[in-house]
Structure 1
Amino acid sequence: MTSRHKRILLIATLLVVLFFIAYSAFFRSYLDSDAYLLMAYEYTGHDPTIVDWQYPDFEIINHQGRLTIHIIFHTTEDMTRGPIGLYIDPFRKEVFDEDPRGAATAGSNSTS
């Protein structure tokens, strides 16, 4: 291996290490799952129908052209109205959208 190849390998290794350090710092500062969990739970007004607010389903997705954290709280009303789904912008640290929930109406089971 020539000295030029060694130099290229060393520079490539340093770049990969720097990339992983920056990647780790980004996700530690913007994707703090506990902070987003508390933010989402407070947004619901501590809804008493939420089954276990500390263990929701969540995923990182692209929603409305933005990187978002999608948190889904399962409730005792999942069969009638569906779960509570919230979209959080990790850069602004705010809830900006919700999944629609069905209205629980007494006459919805009519047969005509």
Structure 2
Amino acid sequence: MTWITIGHIDEIPLRGARCVKTPEGKIAVFRTAENEVFAIEDHCPHKGGPLSQGIVHGKAVTCPLHNWVISLETGRALGADEGEVRTIPVRNDGGMLSIALESLMMAAE
């Protein structure tokens, strides 16, 4: 895996998100009220809504289009809905955040 620095945790508001464009597509990086950071693909498995624009509550985000709730830990839809998005590893080193991308490593091989 290749780790890419994406900025400082303070650049993401509590219970908010930031969208990062990568060679693997858009990645939504979320900060919970407890200062935990998660990253998932920035599209709802339902109709592709921008999860980075959703409402963060606990360790989940609600899609702004049709109110699907997606776990930030697993990427899976919660409740009766089915579907999932890929989760992206996140590293917090003294507040500096990095995400791990697989395709960059594969391209370098």
TM-score of the aligned structures, taking structure 1 as reference length = 0.31
User: Which structure has the bigger radius of gyration?
Assistant: 1
TM-score of the aligned structures, taking structure 2 as reference length = 0.31
**Whose helix proportion is higher, 1 or 2?**
1
